[in-house]
Amino acid sequence: MLENGRKAPEFELADQHGRKHTLKALLADGPLILYFYPADFTPGCTKEACSFRDLHQDLLKAKLRVVGVSPQDVASHKRFAEQHDLNFPLLADPDKKAVKAYDLDGPLGFGVRRGTYLIGADGKIKDSVLADLRIGAHEAFVRKAIEAGASL
């Protein structure tokens, strides 16, 4: 994981609708929760994505947004988002450029580690959590970020 206080690495990735997103553009509206997950449609990743979906109204009140990143392609993200009625962007990173930039590449380059960053509007990492198998730790992290709210 990258250290708190560090400038978050820039990226440009397409979402489930094929629209390109950069970190700079995502931060234009304020702080961001950027989470990395191993794969669409796996039980843990589905549970995590649905918990973020269910927190959507609380996130909006706190002026926070969630964006997910994984190596699957745009088509996979589109099916995953539609099947689970996800209300936030899922960014496709098939070359794992963002995954590597955020230090979440799996052991020996296989897979992706489950990590979540809270990035302030200034582009700096405010907090992070790495909890590969503990999905609940990510939801708790997001709830803590919601409590901090717009002070980010």
Q: Which residues are part of the catalytic machinery?
A: 45
Token pair of 67 as six digits: 């964006």
What is the C-alpha to C-alpha distance for residues 8 and 148, in angstroms, rounded to an integer?
A: 19
Residues pairing with 70 in the sheet: 92
What is the C-alpha to C-alpha distance for residues 60 and 64, in angstroms, rounded to an integer?
A: 6
